[in-house]
Structure 1
Amino acid sequence: MSQPFIRPYESRDFDACLNVFYVTIDPGLDFEPARTLGSYNWYRPYVSLTPSTCFVLDSGTGDAVGYIIGTSSTKDFVKKWREEFIPSVKLDDATLPTASPKTDQGEEGNTDLVPTPDAAKDEIVKFCRKGVFEPEGLLHEESPELLEMYPAHLHIDILPTHTGKGYGTNLVSTYLEKIKGLGATGVHLGMVAENIKARRFYERLGFRLFDEVMDGGVSEEKGRTGNAIWLVKSL
């Protein structure tokens, strides 16, 4: 039986990796249209604009069961996002569920945004939609030292069937070796502050909390913005 292994991302991996994104999505985003919008924030731009710094965990039979995606230069990535990715995004694609929505009358095929039932979900949808069309948020202009010292950034997701087996560590090592070869001097990542398990994983790999208050003192915590924390690692 073939063993899982890491290889460069290929265009044929798009659907399998998109499935990984949806299966592993944060519970707070696991509703439509936030799921679809989320894929336009944290998956599609990377495999579209920087495939050379994207890697997949192959099941051993050709299927992607995990991935690490990112860029060696966040500033260059944001520029490409605005100039190349945004023009390719169709509004309906970015705001609607992948399945045909229903109107209040039960009719299918309506292209209006399906209203979410509570204000909290509406705010999440607004946040996700803004991220698609305003990638400059990735530049952390309120904390310029972040990109100066840690210009690269990444996202990693693995199906539950393949977690806890060392593949995440190997994916990160493969990615870091690649971006270091491209000249990156450091890397950063954002994660939900309450995800203690993930934080411990990154800390074992040498990541640490960014040593600066990033939100103008609102949280009074270093490396925190809202419900997210930012971890960094020098290369």
Structure 2
Amino acid sequence: MTTPSIRPYDPARDFEGGLDVYFKTVNSALNYEPTCTIGSYLWYMPYVALSPSTCLVLSTDSPTSRVVGYIIGTSSTSSFVTRWRSEFVPTIDSAIVPPPNTPCSDPAMQTDDVKNFRAAVYNADCSMLLPYPEVLAKYPAHVHIDILPEFQGKGYGRKLVEAWCEKVREEGATGVHLDMVKDNVGGRKFYEKVGFGVCEQVLDGGESGETGVNGIVLTMVKKL
């Protein structure tokens, strides 16, 4: 197996490879259609479109370049949301992701979960901390990381996180957060190993009796 290396995301050659990684690593709780495809408009496409400078790929460059992982995000969630709504939303193919109030003949598009995801795409609901500006100010950056299974557990995830955190620190970020499926035990262990902890804010009005939890989502944070 060729040893991969970390390099900046290149829009000209990495988009499809990164998208392939997204589809191959999407959490099993979300791995059904049309949610999986709609999710790519939430957790992949906006980042590489709007903030390629804060996107890194894990790539095998010989004999041919192949993206086997990525870390994508933004150093300023609030600024990113503004750009998402003004610049990314107009590019969305409404045949693939119909606006939330658009009736659809496909019953799968009309389930409550899918309608919520459709709304999230058009509203730029990319962070559980958006309703909590004081907490968001402490952890203004946010991030997504995905690595193909055969390249996991080899130290590449830690290297990606370290390189990415240094990048957004240079852009002025003082902290970073991420949202993950709370039942992803392996993912949580990884994030804890690289310095993330559970967000101290109650995010669900106290319904769960836990901090950092809202429905199936767990928010984790890290100071930079």
Contact 2:143 2:178 in 1 (8 A): yes
Partner of residue 169, structure 2: 180
* Aligned mates of 1:189, 1:31 — CA distance in 2: 22
1:128 aligned to 2:117?
yes
Partner of residue 49, structure 1: 50
How has the CA–CA distance of structure 1 residues 220 and 75 changed in structure 2, closer, same or farther, with 3 Å as cutoff?
same
**Which deviates further from its counterpart, 84-93 or 68-77?**
84-93
- How many residues align? The count is 216
Shift of 1:29: 1.8
Q: Percent same amino acid at aligned positions?
A: 47
- TM-score, normalised relative to structure 1: 0.87
Partner of residue 221, structure 1: 210
Partner of residue 133, structure 2: 144
How has the CA–CA distance of structure 1 residues 83 and 63 changed in structure 2, closer, same or farther, with 3 Å as cutoff?
same
1:192 aligned to 2:181?
yes
Partner of residue 169, structure 1: 158
**Which deviates further from its counterpart, 35-44 or 130-139?**
130-139
Report the 3-state secondary structure (helix = DSSP H, G, I; strand = E; otherwise coil) of the residue aligned with 2:71: strand
- TM-score, normalised relative to structure 2: 0.91
1:78 aligned to 2:85?
no
Q: Per-residue displacement from partner, 1:111-152 (whole Å, max 9, x unpaired)? A: x653239x8xx2221121111101156373432222110000
Displaced runs of 4+ in structure 1, greater than 2 A? Answer: 112-117, 136-146
Shift of 1:32: 1.6
Report the 3-state secondary structure (helix = DSSP H, G, I; strand = E; otherwise coil) of the residue aligned with 1:184: coil
Q: Per-residue displacement from partner, 1:174-215 (whole Å, max 9, x unpaired)? A: 100000000000000011111111111111111111112111
Query: Which letter maps to 1:10?
Result: D
* Aligned mates of 2:74, 2:202 — CA distance in 1: 24
**Which deviates further from its counterpart, 211-220 or 76-85?**
211-220
Contact 1:78 1:138 in 2 (8 A): no
How has the CA–CA distance of structure 1 residues 183 and 131 changed in structure 2, closer, same or farther, with 3 Å as cutoff?
same
* Aligned mates of 2:92, 2:57 — CA distance in 1: 24
Contact 2:42 2:126 in 1 (8 A): no
Q: Per-residue displacement from partner, 1:46-78 (whole Å, max 9, x unpaired)? A: 000000000000023311110000000000100
RMSD: 1.7
Partner of residue 16, structure 1: 17
Contact 2:38 2:117 in 1 (8 A): yes
Q: Which runs of 5+ in 1 are unaligned?
A: 96-111
